[in-house]
Amino acid sequence: MTDQGKFARFLISLSAVIVAGCALTVTIKVMNTDTEAFYPPRLLDQEAVERQAAVTARGPKNPSRDGVECPAAMEAKEGNEFNCKVWIDYNQKTVTVKVIDDQGRLSMQAS
């Protein structure tokens, strides 16, 4: 009977070591997980950006989004820059949009 008791204690000890190793492996995997995958990037409202680009290029009397093309997915990340195209009659103006902060404040310049 003592051989069976020794074997049972050995088996219990071995299984405890294996469980501890698995727990350590899972902990390391979780700690190395990229959290950006859980939080998708914040995007700017395309319609609002297009309206603001229209006002910048055409003036406040014509805020229509007709003839305005901006990128589809504009990330609200400080320092990002992109261009919108604004048609005024048969002429095209480029509005350079710069994201000032991650709250979505923008700076626009028409050229």
| Model confidence pLDDT, tens digit, residues 71-90 | 988 888 899 999 999 998 88
Helix (H, G, I), strand (E, B) or coil at 25: helix
Strands (E), the chain: 68-69, 81-88, 91-99, 106-110
Higher pLDDT, residue 97 or 31: 97
Over residues 77-104, mean pLDDT: 90
Confidence of residue 37 (pLDDT cuts 50, 70, 90): low
Q: Indicate if the pLDDT at residue 7 is higher than 90.
A: no
Mean residue pLDDT of the chain comes to 86
Q: Indicate if the pLDDT at residue 42 is higher than 60.
A: yes
**pLDDT at position 49, please?**
93
Residue 55: its H or E element = helix 46-58
43: DSSP letter:
B
The reported pTM is: 0.64
Over residues 83-98, mean pLDDT: 92
